[in-house]
Amino acid sequence: MIKLLGQVDKTVIVAVSGGIDSMFALEFLRNGGRKILALHFDHQTEYGAAARSFVEDYCKRKRIPLVIGTLNRDMEKGESKEAYWREQRYSFFSSWETTGIVVGDQFDSEVFRGCKIVTCHHLDDVVETWLFTSLNGFGRLIPHSRDNFIRPFLLAEKKKIKAFSKRLQVEWLDDPSNKDTSYNRNFIRHVLMPNALTVNPGLRTTIRKKIIQHYENNVDLP
């Protein structure tokens, strides 16, 4: 069972990368009878072209309105790829009405104006973020909401998302770069996380309790 954190409106926008997490979120919310607009950001990498093609084809077949964004500036000297891509991605998500390209069927953008944007961050993402920020001197949780973004799947473990994806017959692509441990996020996921869970097998439960506590107390996270 997937328990959502907070409420998700009947009309909502979903950030879709083409990977299992976001494709699961798209289908989970659609199956809940919600009216959906998909946003996809093309990182203009070799995999990015395949992901864009996949998402375009998927949304066309499912009759899901889709808006695509892409890079609008060069990476600055000394800027990490991860930070660059994240800034560009969220910049598009926040300005999709004016900077995005509508793909497939036209739709009434007014219907989705001001709607919350769902990103499929899950419990394992929160644990990884907490580990990374703890190593840098402060343990930070991914917040349930910030600005116009909401993350209703923060209580769901990755393994449950995989299980539900198979049950819903979700289609997705695997990004080969997700295995590249030269990226900090991947190193934490593939190397640090398994060792942390060996030391504390209940780490996910501990972090889940923290998420709920912060949400219920309406605590502002850094």
Write the pLDDT tens digit of every residue in 62-82.
Answer: 999 999 999 999 999 999 888
Contact between 148 and 116 under an 8 Å Cβ cutoff? The reply is: yes
Instruction: List the beta bridge partners of residue 41.
Output: 69
Same domain for 116 and 192, yes or no, is: no
6 in any annotated domain: no
Angstrom distances, CA of residue 74 to CA of 43, 80, 115, 160: 12, 12, 29, 38
Same domain for 111 and 187, yes or no, is: no
Is 84 exposed, middle or buried (CB count within 10 Å of its CB: 0-12, 13-18, 19+)?
Answer: middle
Q: What is the CATH number of the domain that holds 162?
A: 3.40.50.620
Residue-level pLDDT at 222? 40
Q: Measured between alpha carbons, how far is 218 from 159 in angstroms, rounded to an integer?
A: 28
Contact between 41 and 68 under an 8 Å Cβ cutoff? The reply is: yes
Same domain for 58 and 112, yes or no, is: yes
Same domain for 32 and 65, yes or no, is: yes
Is 184 exposed, middle or buried (CB count within 10 Å of its CB: 0-12, 13-18, 19+)?
Answer: middle
Residue-level pLDDT at 104? 86
152 in any annotated domain: no
Q: Which positions of the chain have pLDDT values less than 70?
A: 218-222
> Taking all residues of the chain, what is their mean pLDDT, rounded to a whole number?
93
Other Cβ atoms closer than 10 A to 199: 7
Same domain for 68 and 162, yes or no, is: yes
Q: Nearest-CA neighbor of 89 among 15, 167, 155?
A: 15
Contact between 155 and 212 under an 8 Å Cβ cutoff? The reply is: yes
Same domain for 167 and 192, yes or no, is: no
Same domain for 113 and 136, yes or no, is: no
Which residue carries 């989705």 as its tokens? 112
Quick one: how far is CA 65 from the chain centroid?
18
Q: Measured between alpha carbons, how far is 160 from 202 in angstroms, rounded to an integer?
A: 16
Q: Provide the residue range defining the domain that includes 130.
A: 125-141+180-222
Q: Measured between alpha carbons, how far is 198 from 205 in angstroms, rounded to an integer?
A: 14
Residue-level pLDDT at 168? 85
CA angle 182–130–127, rounded 5-degree value: 85
Same domain for 102 and 196, yes or no, is: no
Residue-level pLDDT at 105? 86
1 in any annotated domain: no
Q: Measured between alpha carbons, how far is 190 from 56 in angstroms, rounded to an integer?
A: 30
50 in any annotated domain: yes
Same domain for 168 and 72, yes or no, is: yes
Per-residue pLDDT tens for 15-49? 999 999 999 999 999 998 999 999 999 999 888 99
Same domain for 69 and 168, yes or no, is: yes
212 in any annotated domain: yes
Residue-level pLDDT at 46? 83
How many structural domains compose the chain?
2
Same domain for 70 and 168, yes or no, is: yes
Q: Which amino acid is at 101?
A: I
Same domain for 134 and 164, yes or no, is: no
Residue-level pLDDT at 221? 46
